[in-house]
Amino acid sequence: MRHRWVHIVARSTLILFWILFLYPPKTFSVEKKVLKIGSFSTLKPDSPLPDGWEHLTFKKIPRQTRYTLVQDGGRVVVKAESSASSSGLIRKIRVDPKEYPFLQWSWKVNGTYRKGDVTRREGDDYPARIHIMFEFDPTKATGMEKLKYETARMLLGEYPPKGAITYIWGSHAPEGSMVPSPVTDRAMMFVVESGNASVNRWVEEERNILEDCRIAFGNEVPFISGVVIMTDSDNTGEEATAFYGDITFHNNHR
């Protein structure tokens, strides 16, 4: 009897082996979803800005950064040239960061600022930065906050952002650090790159916006309301040239 059971077990094991060999178990993975918001590489040099993108200027800053589409590294990218100037390019778009938590982009700068300082308004310039703006939700606002934003909406025609995360290429700040904006308490800056070690070469970046927002503000993450790329030098009075590649949102880590 014992030999009979050994034979049955051995035969069953062999059958199971061949089943697994012929029909291996399926592996399940989350389908990667991509939301393209800055497809600059699909355009031609010197062509107009892609649909949805527009210039962002500031009334009190007379000199504006120049943005053009150029060929660089075998692809079309945005070139930003700043000389004691400040302005940006903005894409107003509503994105759920829980659905698309990862931001990916590439950039390149030709140098940083001697007088750049993340702690002072006078040094609040960056050769390259990307703002992620979060929308204001009046249903979750306090009475005073709602009044303030309603007043702003009447003046601007829309609600201003609730807050922002800024990814910067700093001049002297420690890479990997998080610092508050010297201009507003509603924005936190993450120093993604710093200094001149990587200048004049393309650098690929990826950030988890959901995680960064929770670290920065410690509360529920609102919807994203827009993305801004900006190269500015109005505070330091210096000059910079930067390049921005395609910008996308993803639902999982690359």
Query: What is the share, in percent, of the chain residues with pLDDT greater than 70?
Result: 78
Average the pLDDT over 37-47 and give the result. Answer: 96
Identify the residue with better confidence: 3 or 67. Answer: 67
- Dist CA 58 CA 85 (whole Å): 10
- Dist CA 250 CA 95 (whole Å): 11
- Dist CA 204 CA 206 (whole Å): 7
Per-residue pLDDT for 153 more than 50? no
Q: What is the pLDDT of residues 123-139, one digit of tens each?
A: 999 999 999 999 876 56
| 121 token code pair | 């308004």
Angle at 240 between CA 238 and CA 241, to 5 degrees: 165
- Dist CA 19 CA 56 (whole Å): 62
Q: What is the pLDDT of residues 77-124, one digit of tens each?
A: 999 999 999 999 999 999 999 999 999 999 999 999 999 999 999 999
Taking CA atoms, 201 is separated from 15, 113, 243, in Å, by 57, 17, 10
pLDDT band at 142 (very low <50, low <70, confident <90, very high): low
C-alpha closest to that of 126 among 43, 72, 51, 182:
182
Q: Domains in the chain, ordered, with CATH?
A: 32-250 (2.60.120.260)
pLDDT band at 43 (very low <50, low <70, confident <90, very high): very high
CB atoms within 10 A of CB 199: 15
Q: What is the pLDDT of residues 227-253, one digit of tens each?
A: 999 999 999 999 999 999 999 999 987
Per-residue pLDDT for 194 more than 60? yes
CA 110 to the chain's CA centroid: 20
pLDDT at 85: 97
Sign of CA dihedral 30, 35, 88, 154: negative
Per-residue pLDDT for 45 more than 90? yes
**Nearest 10 degrees: CA dihedral of 181, 199, 107, 215?**
-40
- Dist CA 38 CA 244 (whole Å): 9
Identify the residue with better confidence: 155 or 185. Answer: 185
pLDDT at 208: 97
Per-residue pLDDT for 24 more than 60? no
Query: What is the share, in percent, of the chain residues with pLDDT greater than 90?
Result: 69
Per-residue pLDDT for 28 more than 80? no
CB atoms within 10 A of CB 153: 14
